[in-house]
Structure 1
Amino acid sequence: MPDYGHDLRFGSFITPQSGRPEAAVALAQLSERAGLDLVTFQDHPYQPAHLDTWTLLSWVAARTERVHLSGDVMNLPLRLPAVLAKSVASLDLLSGGRVELGLGAGGFWDAIEAMGGRRLSPGQAVDALGEAIEVIRGVWDAGERRVLRVEGAHYTVRGAKRGPAPAHEVPIWLGAYKPRMLRLVGAKADGWLPSLGYLTPQDVAGGNKIIDEAAEEAGRDPREVRRLLNLMEGGFGAEGGGLLQGPPAVWVERLLPLALQEGVSTFILASDDPQTIQTFAQEVAPALREAVAAERSSTPPSSGPSRPARARALRSPGIDYDTLPASLSDSAVEPGDRDYWRVRSSYVWPGSPGLVLRPATAGQVAEALEFAQRQRAPLSVRSGGHGISGRSTNDGGIVVDIGAMNGVEVLDRARRLVRVGAGARWGEVAQVLQPHGLAISSGDYGDVGVGGLATAGGQGFLGRSYGLTIDHVVGAEVVLADGRVVRADAEHHPDLFWALRGAGGNMGVVTSLDIEAAEVGEVVFAALVHDASDTAGFLEGFGRLVEDSPRALTAFLSVFPTGRGEPIVAQSLLVWAGDDTDAAVSAIEPFLGLGPVLQQQAQLTPYAAIVAPHHNQHHGQSGTRMRSALVEHLDGPTCAVLAGLFGGRGTGMVQVRSVGGAVNDTPPEATAYAHRTQNFSLTGVFQKAGGAQAEQWWERLGVEAIYLSFESHGDEDLLAKAFPPATLRRLRRVKAAYDPGNVFRHNFPITPDPAA
């Protein structure tokens, strides 16, 4: 196979000399400035003239911004695989995904043994390296919930906890020359990293043959293995007798056959001379890229790098992966990919999608929808993945994840107009707006995605003074089921604009929203913890205080059991929308009298601080069910039912969010969220054990209105409680106009009906 189809990369191979430690760092920085893709350092821990390579890599990572880094190659016999895996993952996370792993089996055994390493025969060293790869990949597989067990002859891991996972899919490249090592490369590695100083160009062809055969025997495609090459003893100037002696044009001429005929796609220059590195980066690299591109355009390789066989075996039968648009393929994630565990599940729902697409533009979203509609698989759309009811994952289907569309821009400060990408997190939005003295009321947790909340409602910490998030949306960019990208506002597609604010997940994929922010700088934030053993009385008192409070105060309450025989505990989070501390204290102090106070604290703080983004990974919370209710008052009968939930098992928590005030200023017919008389939003969180009994008790509330975002199970009969009859009829008409094929049906299903 003359050309494996990989993109060309270029790097430097720098001596980690301990006598001049700053020199290696300076050369790494020069490599980055010159445009190289990769900086590598040899690893000989027993060599006193060398710095420790891993320490040097860490230092260089902090002193560079773009270039990738690797040992060339790391000395495995002196580096415990499980610890090395964690070191690589940690530095990859800290550097933003810029670490690769070159590994060697060891060679200078006297020196290795002198440093405390165990001497191995050549065959044992190869076996140990194969076991080490299994350990390293096992540690990185943080999505696997079982502990790691590897029973090897040289490396044994018994019950190790996995993780952390690297920021990107770190490849493992092996420095290999002998047939047995080459077969290991083909069977298990992601790359072959030899040096021209130890082989000839003709040897590269022989090594490729062994690697390719071993890959096929292991059920892999040979194109899964990148071919790298350290270029030793090269120099620029007059043409000499060596392979790489001469002007840049000679280098290009002699490297071109290695790229096209032997499949080498990464060339790493071994040099400590700044001028040589710069010439290689700025003259050889671009010229060789151009020459390879020209040859490929006339005789292209059979295809690009293939997906690993282990990943292909996990593909969903309902998806035609080969027809995926090229614009989406690079960022797509499939089962078997190392990033799969990060994207498979949402906050509540564990999932196993067959394909996660991550478009970065509205045009790519349209391509993703067109592709998805040709498949025999469910479709889910995800902004942040934190939604309780959003169904932003599935099993065997396609997830369109718009997290890359996360820009936040103040369009007009005088009008307080902000454009927010639907894939942003609300904590990120708050951080951008803080310097402008602006805020958008947006839930109570910074990891919540913009798209889900701002199309469903948006009950937030500023709700009583600001209203719902949707009440201040003035426009949206939407990708429709037929691929059109439209602007929806009061003048353009007004029916669609109405429907997006409360039922947007049923109408299209919102990619950005224009929102009017509020003038909010610092707020007063108080957290109170009470003994709420008199649960009904506590709730009733809380409700009276909220309704009697000034609109500037918004209060959220969580009530939960602490254990058998222990008191019921209530945590109140109160936010005063402004920096008038005297007024805030006057409004908050009455809440202290609701019951015995266990903890209290209050502070003047930026709004962004109370909704900071946490960037937590989602793994699903299988078994948890959540129920919703919107009520006008926390009256005696309502509070008695809520208190009764704690009489048995199964209730994990009850939450109360205040939603009166400005929320109810918006007319019911103005948006698809039509519940504008209630003062409280209730949520019950029920555990698997005993949860059914608790849910039956919840029905005693006689719920007539719900907030869909807090219902975990989208039964169709809940639609009548989420949307009053006139609202639901109008939604069905809008659905028929904009999504007649019911493409967006995997949330709470609103079926299209033009005659509704």
Structure 2
Amino acid sequence: MTDYGHDLVFGTFHTPTNRDPQAPVRLARLAESAGLDLVTFQDHPYQPAFLDTWTLLSWVAAQTERVTVAGNVLNLPLRPPSVLARAVASLDLLSGGRAALGLGAGGFWDPIVGMGGTRLTPGESVDALDEALDVIRGLWDTSERRGLRVDGKHHRVEGAKRGPAPAHDVPIWLGALKPRMLRLIGRKADGWLPSLAYLKDGDLQRGHAIIDEAAAAAGRHPAEVRRLLNVQGALAPSRQGFLQGPVEQWVEELSTLALADGIGTFVLATDDPDTVQVFGQEIAPAVREAVARERATTGTAPAATRRGERAITLRRPGIDYAAVPAALATTAVEPGDRAYDTVRHNYLRSGAPGLVLRPGSAAEVAEAVTWARSQDVPLGVRSGGHGISGRSTNDGGIVVDLGRLDGIDVVDEAARRVRIGAGATWGRVAETLAPRGWAISSGDYGGVGVGGLTTAGGVGFLGRTYGLTIDHVVAAEVVTADGRVVRAAADENPDLFWGLRGAGGNLGVVTWVEIEAMELGNEQGSVVFSQMTLDATDVAGVLERWGGVVESAPRELTSFLILSPGRRGRLADGSDDQGPVAQLMTVWAGDDTDAAVEQLERLATAGPLLGHQAYLLPYSGVVQAGDKHHAGGGDPAVRSGLVEHLDAATAQAFAKLALSGEAYFLQVRATGGAGNDVEAGATAYAHRHQNFLLSAMSSSQERLDAAWDSVMEPHVDGLYLSFDTDTRPERLTDAFPEPTLARLREVKRDWDPDNVFRANFPVPPAGPQG
């Protein structure tokens, strides 16, 4: 008896006929509507009666919403692995994580050679497939910066650039029967995909034994290899043979294959619509129920809890891995998993969480929060993972990753109201809104996640026109500390709604927000984007003059200044090293180029001009989509401060900090404008009179704190919590000045009295009422 405990998956295997090109597409859509999980197609590129399988898979993915698509199996000799890797990753990204890779070594060599392929012996074809797996996995692994090199006999790559990374951990299933291929599956693949029609009595168990032995030798648990099976059959009123009979017979025989023969995925080879419908609506649910009932009796552990020895060794204390809720276990990532390096870090912060949960709905987020509360480890919440503060990851704790909650939908065209999932990135939001001529001010980088920015503030490139991002949030869905899913708006849970806008990370997990977009006044959503470089030898003077121009400019202009302090000493040729340089990134919110040029010319008077480029382009071209994959970035210390004006004293202080050598990156962002039209008490972000946000980055928190406290503290008035890694208790009133802090502590008491959400600039709950 063999049962690997895999959650059961049901799919279909169709002929990609081109006689009626839409016929296989209709079958795929029918499979999805019938509740099936997977749609696959044969791949015989030399067969002129067939559609090209890869083209068909792409078309089907675009015509469906939920099912996973795969070749069954793709012909490796006619599909170079480096190109195939990028094709699969691209389809996975475009479909939202719905691609799987079924791969075969090739078998029909005459037509393969006829199509230009190279004839291989059986042994050579296995070697070629082995090398291909290294190429494919290597190109998907974007955590490694160096180019990929695979020095194979059949497949070679020499410094190929890696990427793109797929949207999810794409499984690779191999179609195989012979022992050498089975051993390869045990060592490197994610699934075994044979066809029942080609198997003899005992072949399944013999195959399992070979795979399991090879997996154990490679440090893997046998359950890490999913066992799939292509099956054929026919529905009939009475029993006429294996899978030839009524629904009850199918349920009995498929259940036996799952419980006694280790099959976790059943793929039905059929082009009959009625059979597809019955298989999805009647047979699959009944088999799931029967198998679940038997497993409950025998106590079979889910495959998701049975990882390789390396993964088990790397598990962290304080987490009950065996008790991860079933709905979360299938997508969870832990140390030792192949996907771990893609989810452990954030943009600038290295992380080593003990478990990353990746819920796909608000209900699953609630389940994740409830379960995480029962574990004795820190809890982090990540939307895009870009946060400079680094609070969305941790060491040894649990991270709830909201990346799958990335929908973007216009819910009210007239009001320009957009509902955005917390896991979406601002680059994608900008792309979605651009055709309408709309935009939402959202920082300066498209890879930033929606959830973090819309709960902290949002000092963006359109800020002086639009205000802070939070100023246009009109509703949010929130998972609370006690696992409820609630809506927050001005007319529903108004105290929570107030607190979410500025201190949201302290109050719950936001799963979506509704935001009112701004209209840019032109059909293309175009803005003027300027990149200007100034000689900043006179650091204080440049800062003061630039600040004066920004404050006096029309609100359409928002400008950010990055200060590069320069290096001391001389270059090897004896010439002076480069001195301080100021880089200005400026946006004029609209397509009035004459007005924009007039203000940009004023900015250029802040210091000697070294270079300037300006463009008229959609806002989506300014905030371009960024990669969600992060690899850490030096774990910097960061301090921030808000000021009303860049007057002489403030500019001189910031110049002194810049020239001290204690900070390697300094930035000033223009805020104010429309953001200061909002009353200080309207949101938990209370800084409504300042016009500039200053920040500095260093390799040492201790040294930066000392330099900042002595040089900048007398001049700043408040801080921006997303740009600050100094969380000493005395900094709390800098983030939330009174009376905001007192009210926020009361909201915290009402919604998170046990301080579950304490990783994001922790706010202590107020004491009990009365």
Question: Which TM-score applies when normalising by structure 2?
Answer: 0.82
2:687 to 675, 680, 686: 675
Q: How far 1:382 moved relative to its partner?
A: 1.8
Letter in 1 for 2:544: E
CA gap of 1:755–1:173, structure 2 versus 1, over 3 A, is closer
SS at match of 1:334: coil
Where does structure 1 lack aligned partners over 5 or more consecutive residues? 16-20
Tell me whether 378-387 or 204-213 shows the greater mean CA deviation.
Answer: 204-213
Aligned pairs for 1:80-229 (under 5 A) are 85=85, 88-93=88-93, 96-104=96-104, 122=123, 133=133, 136-144=136-144, 162-212=162-212, 215=215, 220-229=220-229
What's 1:686 paired with?
698
Tell me whether 569-578 or 252-261 shows the greater mean CA deviation.
Answer: 252-261
Distance in 2 separating the partners of 1:676 and 1:158: 55
What's 1:617 paired with?
629
Letter in 1 for 2:557: L
What's 2:737 paired with?
724
Tell me if structure 2 keeps the 8 A contact 1:651–1:691: no
Letter in 2 for 1:7: L
Distance in 2 separating the partners of 1:267 and 1:13: 13
Matched, 1:657 2:669: yes
Deviations 1:498-538 (A, max 9, x none): 43332222222233445454444346424141332333222
Deviations 1:64-91 (A, max 9, x none): 2246554544566787766654554455
What's 1:308 paired with?
307
What's 2:13 paired with?
12
Q: How far 1:394 moved relative to its partner?
A: 0.7
Tell me if structure 2 keeps the 8 A contact 1:521–1:607: no
Letter in 2 for 1:653: F
Distance in 1 separating the partners of 2:39 and 2:414: 46
Matched, 1:529 2:532: yes
What's 2:572 paired with?
none
CA gap of 1:651–1:159, structure 2 versus 1, over 3 A, is same
SS at match of 1:669: coil
Q: How far 1:398 moved relative to its partner?
A: 0.9
CA gap of 1:71–1:201, structure 2 versus 1, over 3 A, is farther
What's 1:381 paired with?
381
What's 2:261 paired with?
262
What's 2:480 paired with?
480
Q: How far 1:319 moved relative to its partner?
A: 0.9
CA gap of 1:539–1:319, structure 2 versus 1, over 3 A, is same
Give the greater-gyration-radius structure (CA): 1
CA gap of 1:414–1:257, structure 2 versus 1, over 3 A, is closer
Tell me if structure 1 keeps the 8 A contact 2:480–2:509: yes
Tell me whether 243-252 or 506-515 shows the greater mean CA deviation.
Answer: 243-252
What's 1:470 paired with?
470
Q: How far 1:33 moved relative to its partner?
A: 3.5
What's 1:281 paired with?
276
Aligned pairs for 1:16-95 (under 5 A) are 22-23=18-19, 28-35=24-31, 37-42=38-43, 56-65=52-61, 66=64, 68-73=68-73, 85=85, 88-93=88-93
Tell me if structure 2 keeps the 8 A contact 1:477–1:510: yes
Matched, 1:295 2:306: no
Compute the RMSD of aligned alpha carbons: 4.2
CA gap of 1:142–1:716, structure 2 versus 1, over 3 A, is same
Tell me if structure 1 keeps the 8 A contact 2:528–2:596: no
Tell me if structure 1 keeps the 8 A contact 2:350–2:635: no
Tell me if structure 1 keeps the 8 A contact 2:663–2:696: yes
Tell me if structure 2 keeps the 8 A contact 1:25–1:60: no
What's 1:443 paired with?
443
Tell me whether 153-162 or 167-176 shows the greater mean CA deviation.
Answer: 153-162
Matched, 1:740 2:750: no
CA gap of 1:422–1:297, structure 2 versus 1, over 3 A, is closer
Tell me if structure 2 keeps the 8 A contact 1:424–1:449: yes
Deviations 1:187-234 (A, max 9, x none): 5432223334533354334434444455556554444333333457x7
SS at match of 2:604: helix
Tell me whether 171-180 or 448-457 shows the greater mean CA deviation.
Answer: 171-180
Deviations 1:291-338 (A, max 9, x none): 423532542372443443143443222211222223333333323334
Deviations 1:638-689 (A, max 9, x none): 223333455465644332222233333333334333333322111223357x
Question: Which TM-score applies when normalising by structure 1?
Answer: 0.83
What's 1:712 paired with?
725
Tell me if structure 1 keeps the 8 A contact 2:57–2:70: no
Aligned pairs for 1:468-617 (under 5 A) are 468-490=468-490, 493-522=493-522, 524-533=527-536, 534-560=538-564, 565-566=577-578, 568-578=580-590, 580-602=592-614, 605-617=617-629
Q: How far 1:474 moved relative to its partner?
A: 4.5
Letter in 2 for 1:710: F
CA gap of 1:597–1:176, structure 2 versus 1, over 3 A, is same
Matched, 1:700 2:711: yes
CA gap of 1:469–1:242, structure 2 versus 1, over 3 A, is closer
Q: How many corresponding residue pairs?
A: 739
Distance in 2 separating the partners of 1:163 and 1:432: 24
SS at match of 1:539: helix
Letter in 2 for 1:723: F
Q: How far 1:345 moved relative to its partner?
A: 1.6
Tell me whether 387-396 or 521-530 shows the greater mean CA deviation.
Answer: 521-530
Letter in 2 for 1:708: L
Letter in 2 for 1:336: G
Distance in 1 separating the partners of 2:138 and 2:240: 47
What's 1:18 paired with?
none
Tell me whether 355-364 or 544-553 shows the greater mean CA deviation.
Answer: 355-364
Tell me if structure 2 keeps the 8 A contact 1:12–1:31: no
